[in-house]
Amino acid sequence: EVQLVESGGDLVQAGGSLRLSCAASGFTFDDYAIGWFRQAPGKEREGVSCIRSSRDATYYTDSVKGRFTISSDNARNMVYLQMNNLKPEDTAVYYCAASLVACLDLNGMDYWGKGTVVTVSS
């Protein structure tokens, strides 16, 4: 059974940090790009960051560049999103997703987790 399980979401003050984790199982982790997406209340889901299956290329949406860092631990089938200098506009449900081909393409991801909630207070 394919599973992507996010964890690490919490309530944090603006300027604070969180590290989200995505635990993957049930598929060949090394073959898949893993992306982080988020959906704020009343807004569409958007791509935040992604790491290619080769794990040597990463991508970030402009609003998080310089603040968020994606990384992976292939030995543990884990992907992390380190989020620093958090802002209230980062408040959202954060999802990880896996794809054989796509990276930050909402419609191209093969598997999705159920999300973890990040709330940033001002």
Q: Are 40 and 52 in contact (CB under 8 A)?
A: no
Read off the pLDDT of residues 81-106 as tens digits, 9 standing for 90 and up.
Answer: 999 999 999 999 999 999 999 998 99
Q: What is the pLDDT of residue 60?
A: 97
Arithmetic mean of pLDDT, 28-35: 96
Q: What is the pLDDT of residue 104?
A: 87
Distance between CA atoms of residues 28 and 5, nearest Å: 15
User: Which residues, including other chains, have CB under 8 Å from residue 94's CB and lie 6 or more apart?
Assistant: 6, 9, 20, 36, 37, 38, 48, 81, 115, 116, 117, 118
Q: What is the pLDDT of residue 62?
A: 97
Q: Are 69 and 81 in contact (CB under 8 A)?
A: yes
